[in-house]
């Protein structure tokens, strides 16, 4: 039984195949559904081509679901958070 | 009659028929949210979901505390049918007399009935709802109250900010960069690289939550104004892990700290303007250190979306009165301010004793001076009842000059990024614009040329009006 995960990207084109670091939500039913993990994972656009891969559902910044899920193989669970400063994306954008 | 807590409020709503208890098992994953959303759109009662899938008996969800003007009136101790204008007037009057809170001993505070500390912390013990399909996570903080403090001045801020469960001991949120929480963070904690203590309060009394939506001036403590509205001091209690004070009768209090050097993803979320519009961000990371809660905790929720719901109603009242205070303070001859809930604080109506381009310009300068939540304002003469959107629309359609009656102000770094019509580029730079529509007669026009409104009350003499009213039935009318 394949596990299902979900991730969010601003636009679908922002996500690349290969080994990536990303936040994913575990869609396993139950009280811990949507638990978030920061992982190193191998991603493949074509789920069928990824042997023993799990399912990665992808949503846009507006929450719109990409019709075809990708394949994902989690290689390593990383930290709970990532380095950064609150609102730094806004401050960076304003500085540009 | 003030309500000492959310449970007390529910008891009254049961008597007035403004709450429905659902005994059927409901799924926290979309079902509760969808039911709540539909009920708002039907103008129905608040809902108390008593059995939640995956969770033990006693862990419940409540949607729609102040989702109608009826429930706002009840929360203020007024008759349910109190007109909106009267609710505004009483709210404004009561705010004039702030009352200091009192501090309870821990043993007398119901929110301390259960305490989870350190490794015991597990946010999944609570049925945080997945409210909309496609949201970024389970938003445990919607109808909430977030407490933070500026240690430099001692000012404690309450705000209503969204927070979602990231994992068992972290929350992710995105208080806007122009919010008062962000102001405190930037002023004190970021320069020192110190974590900011924070408490997320769920299920306090309804007035406390309503006040948390109020755009009070910097360094004004919301707790005093919650007391003012209730007519008695709010009872607070000290947190377990920091010196923040929280409403003692709250259902759930999540204590922790917002880190200055770590972030977690937040959003997107179907927000108060009625859209889920790209509000996904590198959110603030809230590391939880303790959770205290009442036995059989009630998790309060807003299935946010298109108006009218708790958010658009509470903000109508609190933002409207705050703007009136601000405009008066600035010397603008304001008569009334109304924030129609359907305008989700993006649109406001302001009536003035004397209008014209200069006054309209001053109004626009006021609403765009700091953080800008309003993008459209209609300035009206005082003969327009601004609590009647039909009258406002008539005045706007007929009195606002399409060439010289529209004033626009552009800005960057302080726009409301939740404004759906802004592009992604504008949102990320907090770039936006506000427009003021001058729907007043130019004050320089001599009185004899000002058009006369052709209504019964304005185009006939009092003599004719009295005659018609007194003999109305003689014409065969009922």
Per-residue pLDDT at B218 = 87
> Any residues with CB less than 8 A from the CB of B475 and at least 6 apart, and which?
none
Rounded to a whole number of angstroms, the distance from the CA of A48 to the nearest CA of chain B is 24
Beta strand pairing status for B114-117 and B376-381? unpaired
**B-chain residues near A37 (CB < 8 A):** 167
pLDDT value at B106 more than 70: yes
Dihedral sign of CA atoms B101, B211, B415, B365 in order = negative
In chain B, domain spans? 82-300, 330-442
Per-residue pLDDT at B356 = 97
> Any residues with CB less than 8 A from the CB of B461 and at least 6 apart, and which?
none
Rounded to a whole number of angstroms, the distance from the CA of A89 to the nearest CA of chain B is 7
More confident residue, B220 or B39: B39
pLDDT value at B209 more than 70: yes
**B-chain residues near A25 (CB < 8 A):** 137
Closest to B412 (Cα-Cα) out of A91, A62, A61 = A91
pLDDT, tens only, B422-464? 998 898 889 999 999 999 999 999 999 999 999 999 999 999 9
Whether chain B has a CB inside 8 Å of the CB on A94: the answer is yes
pLDDT, tens only, A41-70? 999 999 999 999 999 999 999 999 999 999
**A-chain residues near B282 (CB < 8 A):** 84, 86-89
Which B residues, 321 through 350, put their C-beta within 8 Å of a C-beta on chain A?
none
B277/A36 Cβ within 8 A: no
- How confident is the model over A64-91, as a mean pLDDT? 94
For the beta carbon of residue B451, count every other beta carbon within 10 angstroms.
9
Rounded to a whole number of angstroms, the distance from the CA of B394 to the nearest CA of chain A is 36
Per-residue pLDDT at B415 = 93
Token pair 């949503």 is at which residue?
Answer: A59
pLDDT value at A94 more than 90: no
pLDDT, tens only, B297-351? 999 999 999 999 999 999 999 999 999 999 999 999 999 999 999 999 999 999 9
Which A residues, 26 through 65, put their C-beta within 8 Å of a C-beta on chain B?
30-37, 59, 61-65
| Of the options 3.40.228.10, 3.40.1670.10, 1.10.8.60, 3.60.20.30, the CATH number for the domain spanning B330-442 | 3.40.1670.10
Per-residue pLDDT at B239 = 98
Cα–Cα dist B191/A14, whole Å? 33
Cα–Cα dist A72/A54, whole Å? 5
A63/B167 Cβ within 8 A: no
Whether chain A has a CB inside 8 Å of the CB on B166: the answer is yes
B263/A86 Cβ within 8 A: yes
Residues B245, B236 contacting (CB under 8 angstroms):
yes
Per-residue pLDDT at B1 = 61
Q: What percent of chain B has pLDDT over 70?
A: 100
Which chain A residue shows the shortest CA-CA distance from B177? Answer: A87
Element (H, E) at B181: helix B180-184
| Of the options 2.30.110.10, 3.40.50.720, 3.40.47.10, 3.40.50.460, the CATH number for the domain spanning B82-300 | 2.30.110.10
Q: Which candidate from B54, B130, B261 shows the least CB-CB separation from A30? A: B54
**B-chain residues near A5 (CB < 8 A):** none
pLDDT, tens only, B340-397? 999 999 999 999 999 999 999 999 999 999 889 999 999 999 999 999 999 999 999 9
Which B residues, 222 through 241, put their C-beta within 8 Å of a C-beta on chain A?
none
Looking at every residue in chain A, the average pLDDT score rounds to: 95
pLDDT value at B25 more than 70: yes
Cα–Cα dist B256/B242, whole Å? 8
pLDDT value at A96 more than 90: no
Which B residues, 121 through 150, put their C-beta within 8 Å of a C-beta on chain A?
124, 127, 130, 132-138
Per-residue pLDDT at B189 = 97
Kindly state the tokens that stand for A32: 């811990």
Whether the ipTM is more than 0.85: the answer is yes
Whether chain A has a CB inside 8 Å of the CB on B273: the answer is no
Whether chain A has a CB inside 8 Å of the CB on B194: the answer is no
pLDDT value at A95 more than 80: no
pLDDT value at A90 more than 90: no
B185/A86 Cβ within 8 A: yes
């Amino acid at each position: 039984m394949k596990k299902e995960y979900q991730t969010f990207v601003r636009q679908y084109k922002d996500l690349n195949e290969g080994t990536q670091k990303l936040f994913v939500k575990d869609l396993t039913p139950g009280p811990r559904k949507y638990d978030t993990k920061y992982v190193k994972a191998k991603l493949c656009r074509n789920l069928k081509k990824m042997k023993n891969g799990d399912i990665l559902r992808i949503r846009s910044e507006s929450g719109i679901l990409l019709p075809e899920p990708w394949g994902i193989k989690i290689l390593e669970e990383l930290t709970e958070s990532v380095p950064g400063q609150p609102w730094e994306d806004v401050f960076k954008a304003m500085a540009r | 009659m003030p309500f000492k807590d959310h449970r007390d409020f529910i008891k009254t709503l049961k008597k007035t028929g403004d709450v429905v208890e659902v005994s059927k098992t409901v799924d926290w994953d979309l079902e509760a949210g969808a039911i709540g959303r539909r009920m708002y759109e039907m103008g129905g009662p608040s809902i108390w979901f008593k059995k939640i899938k995956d969770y033990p008996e006693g862990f419940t969800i409540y949607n729609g505390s102040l989702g109608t003007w009826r429930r706002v009136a009840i929360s203020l101790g007024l008759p349910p049918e109190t007109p909106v204008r009267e609710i505004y007037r009483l709210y404004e009057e009561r705010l004039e007399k702030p009352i200091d809170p009192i501090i309870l001993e821990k043993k007398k505070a119901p929110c301390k009935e259960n305490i989870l500390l350190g490794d015991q912390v597990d946010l999944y013990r609570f049925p945080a709802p997945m409210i909309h399909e496609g949201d970024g996570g389970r938003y445990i903080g919607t109808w909430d109250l977030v407490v933070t403090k500026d240690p430099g001045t001692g000012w404690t801020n309450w705000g209503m900010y969204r927070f979602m469960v990231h994992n068992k001991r972290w929350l992710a949120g995105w208080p806007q960069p122009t919010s008062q929480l962000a102001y405190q963070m930037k002023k004190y904690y970021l320069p020192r690289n110190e974590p900011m203590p924070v408490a997320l309060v769920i299920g306090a009394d309804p007035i406390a939550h309503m006040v948390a939506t109020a755009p009070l001036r910097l360094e004004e403590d919301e707790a005093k104004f919650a007391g003012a509205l209730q007519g008695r001091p709010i009872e607070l209690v000290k947190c377990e892990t920091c010196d923040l004070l929280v409403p003692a009768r709250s259902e759930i209090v999540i204590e922790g700290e917002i880190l200055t050097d770590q972030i977690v993803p937040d959003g997107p979320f179907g927000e108060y303007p009625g859209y889920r519009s790209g509000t996904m961000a590198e959110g603030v990371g809230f590391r939880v250190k303790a959770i205290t809660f009442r036995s059989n905790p009630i998790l309060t929720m807003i299935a946010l979306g298109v108006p009218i719901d708790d958010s658009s109603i509470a903000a109508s009242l609190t933002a409207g009165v705050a703007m009136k205070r601000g405009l008066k303070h600035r010397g603008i001859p304001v008569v009334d301010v109304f924030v129609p809930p359907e305008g989700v604080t993006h649109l406001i109506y302001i009536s003035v004793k004397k209008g014209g381009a200069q006054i309209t310009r001053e109004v626009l300068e006021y609403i765009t001076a700091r953080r800008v939540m309003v993008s459209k304002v209609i300035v009206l003469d005082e003969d327009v009842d601004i609590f009647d959107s039909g009258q406002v629309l008539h005045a706007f359609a007929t009195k606002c000059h399409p060439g010289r009656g529209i004033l626009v102000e552009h800005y960057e770094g302080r726009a409301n990024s939740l404004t759906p019509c802004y592009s992604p580029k504008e949102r990320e730079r907090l770039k936006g614009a506000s427009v003021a529509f001058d729907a007043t007669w130019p004050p320089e026009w001599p009185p004899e040329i000002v058009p006369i409104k052709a209504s019964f009350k304005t185009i006939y003499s009092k003599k004719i009006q009295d005659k018609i009213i007194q003999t109305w039935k003689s014409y065969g009318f009922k």
